[in-house]
Chains A and B, each alone.
Chain A
Amino acid sequence: MSKPSDLVQGTLDLLILKILALEPLNGWAVSKRLRQVSGDTLQVSDGSLYPALHKLEQEGWITAEWRASENNRRAKFYSLTRLGRKHLEKEAANWTRLSDAIAGVLRLEEV
């Protein structure tokens, strides 16, 4: 089974927040967007998406609202809160710092 832990811990949260930062989306649209942007590199199962969304909602980083989707179905749309935006900025900066550091280590020449 592929669980969120298949990704680097917390990365799924970061991805979802970033996607929702662009526009409010429902769960299905988020999963589509995830597949589009990451291709096959990041395997996110549909199953792990919803617990992740609910968790972010509980944290107060995203908020949900029921409204009509593009095909006129009632759907739960998630959007980023002010708190979520702050969190995203912080996490994104962290991520950049961490990946830069790791990249730096990997660039070391073997003797």
Chain B
Amino acid sequence: MRVEHWIYSLPLRLRSLFHRRQVEEELDEELQDHLHQKIEEGIARGLSPDEARYSALRAMDGLEQRKQQCRDLRGVNAIENFVQDLRHGLRMLRKSPGFTTAAVLTLALGIGANTAVFSVVNAVLLRPLRYPEPDRMVNFYISNPRLESISIPVFMVWRQQTGVLEDFAIYGSAYKDPGVSLTNTDHPETLRASHVSAGFFKLFGASIEAGRTFSDQEDVPHGPKVAVISDGFWRRRFGADRSLVGNTISLGGESYVVVGVVHDMEPTHSAFNLMLGPSLRIDTPADVWLPLQADPNSTFQSLDYRGAARLKPGVTLEMAQAATNLAQTQFHKKFPELPLIPGFEWGLESMSDAMVGNVRLAILVLMGAVSFVMLIACANVANLLLARAAHRRREMAIRAALGARRRRIVFQLLTETLPLSLAGGALGIVLGYPFLRILLAKSLVDLPRIGGQGSAVTLDWRVLLFTILATLLTSVIFGLIPALSVSRCSPHAGLMENDPRSSSGLGRKRTRSILVVLEMALSLILLAGAALLMRTFVALKGVNPGFETRNILTCEMSLNQPRFDQTSAVARLVRDGQRRVEALPGVEMLAATRELPLDQARDLGGILIEGRPKNTNQPAVDFREISARYFDVFRIPLLQGRTFTEQDTEQTPRVAVINETMAKKFWPGYPVAGSPIGERISMDLSGLMGPAESPLQIVGVVGDARDVALGSAPEPMMYILMNQCSDWFNAWDNRLLGPLIWVIRTKAEPLSLNEAIQHELRIASGGLAVGHVRAMDQVRTEATADSTFNMTLFNVFAGIAILLAAIGIFGVMACFVNERTKEIGLRIALGALPRDVLAMVVRQGMRLVVIGISIGIMGSLALTPLIASLLYGVKSTDPTVLACVAALLCAVALATVYFPARRATKIDPVLALRWE
């Protein structure tokens, strides 16, 4: 019905629109024809030609009105008016290029900045995950301390909840992907590897390029050695050779049959807040997937993996959470020996929340900040339009006097502003988007889902739609204020405008003042945010990490292979590596570790101190496996006792070194009344997390280092020697918890020795490649990347804001002086000194500034607590920051107001009194 209607009416409308003249002629002809016939009929009835004509016209009830009625029926009137107004607007803009340029640039800044930030919001928060039915995907986590991880026994119990969930998968490493070495080749490399259960590919919707994914029969303990590889790896390394499927590749010295090739997937996890550290880590997509082959009867309780599933259709997250709680009860019945830790609860969250993590807040704050920039830009353009509107009041008054309704006038003014926004919006995209891409590419910021160097931040339909809406919205905001203001006046007042006694401009002046106050207030809030983030940045830069970062090279080596299952093999590797690398000229010393400071630390859980009762309320302890020279490489100071030496070997008693925080927390009198040296400790969960480990004797206390992130206070940390770990513990490390990390102190620029060091390490390891080569300085820079990113953007926004606000107040004050030329001239004529005139204008301007700043301060106090979690070393309501920001804004405003004020003092009273 509707469609058929349009089949008839659309051609008509298009014809009315594009063949207007012809349609008009036809209408005229039709009506004239009617009149002719009517007149002829009248004459035939005996009327005189004039009478007949008159009667025919009368029967028509007004020919022109009827024509207009017919025109209105064409349904294209609105469009015609619109086009007319648009043309008029364009003409007006062409006539004042200065105004047009200023307005378009201002809007381009506003819309460009908004488009840029929105494109990040879109990539990170809005774009659906590229998995099948992403809305139904849930991620398993454990609350308090929050860990997005799962153990095999937990997974086995959880996956019984088939009433509400399906496509269960357990996969990856909850710590750091240990990777796997591609071996038996002239060009060894470390591959990103992930151990996954058979259900993984179904859950994440892997699309198969060749072969197949794992079968359930392959995903059993001691199952076959099979591998699925990624499309990217397959093309890069094997030239997309289809015959590879069914053949073997050598991974970590063992042969694996390649059963399939799947297309590269969006990283399965992006952000996770490991061990409460504020820094984020982005998982890169895997090159190769190996079957997890978990033992369903495992009692190994370490939370080493990630777990996820999909809600069954119609099941809500709450229902699944209830079922998961039930599963936890069953789990504790099954493992009564596990301690019940309060708050340690199983939870489910949507996969998109898990992906984005705590980045959501930072991004929304940026979006809020940038929308302030937009408001300021709107206020500025509205101000410019208002200044111009003064000249058009007569025009509008005449239009109104001729019968234009107010709605029509407002609509006309709005339409005239549309070209401004459109030009601003177009320029905004052209400027803003590349700016952001450059920023993302240069910055080391760890935003989830933005792809390599921000490649996933694209201009898709959502961003374009946003920009179009933003453009229209700005046009309405900045257009409506002057439109309402101008159209408010009565025709009479408007026509009397030139009368010096007329006061009808007062309302408009008030509108402009309010706009300036608003700009000042918004600028202050943005400046306050920028200043707080800058303070954070400076504070983070100023943090003493507790170690030296200069001249240290770090690189990683995957030991994920049977050859290194024995601790002695790793010990030998480290010894050989150390001997070879330290022989290189320019190298001072080498150590090995499992994690880097500033990067991540592993939570050991509680510890038991010999001779003390078990205390469940004591703080958690992090631990790190290192080689003897770790403290020397990082120059972490020794406070008590001794550090590790080459004499601490596999055969000598197990020893530990702890940090100062741990000493203080567990030995309250330290360093005066109590000393941990000589005390023996063991892991609380030893036995539940693998075979029982023998106790460790504390031999030394070292200074605190920022182990997790620059911004988080040091936690108790216990260092143990890699070569004193049990074989079991060592294999666990290699297989699951991460690669071995080499740290080398050099005498020269560390990266200059990269190749020589890599070469020696390859020989020492029997042909293994190293990856992820970084200077420790870079690790440190990366640790502040998020803060740098936030600060940079906020500074740009605040800079734009302050610039626009300055232009705004300049415009208003220049206008003020202009309008009062006569009055000022009179004052000067009556003996006012330049000083008095200057003071008068400055006072007038600064009054607005002070009101704006006061409102801004209140606004900041209300809004800055929102960014409290992004701050470090400064309180969100820091009075010094607010005072400085207010003073800065005042100074800028004062400098700006000075120019129109100075011009006022130069007014020649003789000319001014004749001023019209």
CB contact between B34 and one of A31, A48, A54, A82 (< 8 Å): that residue:
A31
In the assembled complex, B26 has its CB within 8 A of some CB on chain A: yes
* Docked-complex contact A63 and B8, CB < 8 angstroms: yes
Closest beta carbon of chain A to B52's beta carbon, Å: 13
CA gap between A73 and B26 in the complex, in Å? 13
CB contact between B59 and one of A45, A57, A63 (< 8 Å): that residue:
A45
In the assembled complex, A74 has its CB within 8 A of some CB on chain B: yes
Closest beta carbon of chain A to B573's beta carbon, Å: 84
* Docked-complex contact B60 and A60, CB < 8 angstroms: no
CB contact between B33 and one of A1, A47, A75 (< 8 Å): that residue:
A75
* Docked-complex contact A60 and B4, CB < 8 angstroms: yes
Q: Which of B26, B33, B34 has the most CB of A within 10 A?
A: B34
Known: A45-B59, A51-B70. A60 touches B9 (CB 8 A): yes
* Docked-complex contact A46 and B59, CB < 8 angstroms: yes
Closest beta carbon of chain A to B863's beta carbon, Å: 53
Closest beta carbon of chain A to B551's beta carbon, Å: 82
Closest beta carbon of chain A to B91's beta carbon, Å: 32
Contact with A along B1-22 (1 / 0, CB 8 A): 1001111110011000000000
Considering only CB atoms, which chain A residue lies closest to B10 in the complex?
A60
Band of interface residues on B: 20 to 34
Considering only CB atoms, which chain B residue lies closest to A66 in the complex?
B26
Which residues of B are found within 8 Å of A45, using beta-carbon distances?
A: 59-61
CB contact between A50 and one of B1, B5, B12, B31 (< 8 Å): that residue:
B31
In the assembled complex, A59 has its CB within 8 A of some CB on chain B: yes
* Docked-complex contact B29 and A74, CB < 8 angstroms: yes
* Docked-complex contact B34 and A47, CB < 8 angstroms: no
CB contact between A28 and one of B1, B34, B70 (< 8 Å): that residue:
B34
* Docked-complex contact A55 and B61, CB < 8 angstroms: no
* Docked-complex contact A47 and B60, CB < 8 angstroms: yes
* Docked-complex contact A28 and B33, CB < 8 angstroms: yes
Q: Which of A48, A50, A82 has the most CB of B within 10 A?
A: A50
* Docked-complex contact B34 and A46, CB < 8 angstroms: yes
Contact with B along A75-100 (1 / 0, CB 8 A): 11000011100000000000000000
Which residues of A are found within 8 Å of B5, using beta-carbon distances?
A: 59-60, 83
In the assembled complex, A9 has its CB within 8 A of some CB on chain B: no
* Docked-complex contact B73 and A51, CB < 8 angstroms: yes
Which residues of B are found within 8 Å of A60, using beta-carbon distances?
A: 4-9
* Docked-complex contact B7 and A46, CB < 8 angstroms: no
CB contact between A47 and one of B13, B59, B74 (< 8 Å): that residue:
B59
In the assembled complex, A24 has its CB within 8 A of some CB on chain B: no
Q: Which of A28, A31, A55, A82 has the most CB of B within 10 A?
A: A28
Known: A46-B38, A60-B4. A76 touches B75 (CB 8 A): no
For chain B, what secondary structure do more than half of its interface residues adopt (helix, strand, loop), or is it mixed?
A: helix
Which residues of A are found within 8 Å of B70, using beta-carbon distances?
A: 50-51, 54
In the complex, chain A residues 18-63 whose Cβ is within 8 Å of any chain B Cβ: 26-28, 31, 45-48, 50-51, 54-55, 57-60, 63
Band of interface residues on A: 20 to 34
Closest beta carbon of chain B to A19's beta carbon, Å: 16
* Docked-complex contact A76 and B66, CB < 8 angstroms: no
* Docked-complex contact A51 and B33, CB < 8 angstroms: no
* Docked-complex contact B33 and A73, CB < 8 angstroms: yes
Considering only CB atoms, which chain B residue lies closest to A76 in the complex?
B30
Closest beta carbon of chain A to B27's beta carbon, Å: 8
Known: A45-B59, A47-B66, A48-B61. A57 touches B34 (CB 8 A): no
Which residues of B are found within 8 Å of A81, using beta-carbon distances?
A: 8
Which residues of A are found within 8 Å of B30, using beta-carbon distances?
A: 26-27, 50, 75-76
Which residues of B are found within 8 Å of A47, using beta-carbon distances?
A: 59-62, 65-66
CA gap between A95 and B803 in the complex, in Å? 69
Considering only CB atoms, which chain A residue lies closest to B65 in the complex?
A47
In the assembled complex, B101 has its CB within 8 A of some CB on chain A: no
Closest beta carbon of chain A to B416's beta carbon, Å: 30
Which residues of A are found within 8 Å of B7, using beta-carbon distances?
A: 60
Which residues of A are found within 8 Å of B73, using beta-carbon distances?
A: 51, 54-55, 58
CA gap between A27 and B60 in the complex, in Å? 13
CA gap between A31 and B69 in the complex, in Å? 18
In the assembled complex, B37 has its CB within 8 A of some CB on chain A: yes
CA gap between A58 and B6 in the complex, in Å? 9
* Docked-complex contact B66 and A27, CB < 8 angstroms: no
CA gap between A27 and B1 in the complex, in Å? 27
Which residues of B are found within 8 Å of A46, using beta-carbon distances?
A: 34, 38, 56, 59-61
Which residues of B are found within 8 Å of A2, using beta-carbon distances?
A: 61
Considering only CB atoms, which chain B residue lies closest to A55 in the complex?
B73
CA gap between A89 and B811 in the complex, in Å? 67
Question: What is the interface of chain A, defined by CB distance below 8 A to chain B?
Answer: 1-3, 26-28, 31, 45-48, 50-51, 54-55, 57-60, 63, 66, 73-76, 81-83
| Sample of 11 further A-B pairs with CB below 8 A, known A26-B33, A47-B59, A50-B70 | A27-B34, A28-B37, A45-B60, A46-B59, A46-B60, A54-B73, A57-B8, A57-B12, A58-B12, A60-B5, A63-B8
A-B contacts, 10 listed (Cβ < 8 Å)? A28-B34, A45-B60, A50-B30, A50-B70, A54-B73, A58-B12, A60-B7, A76-B26, A76-B29, A83-B5
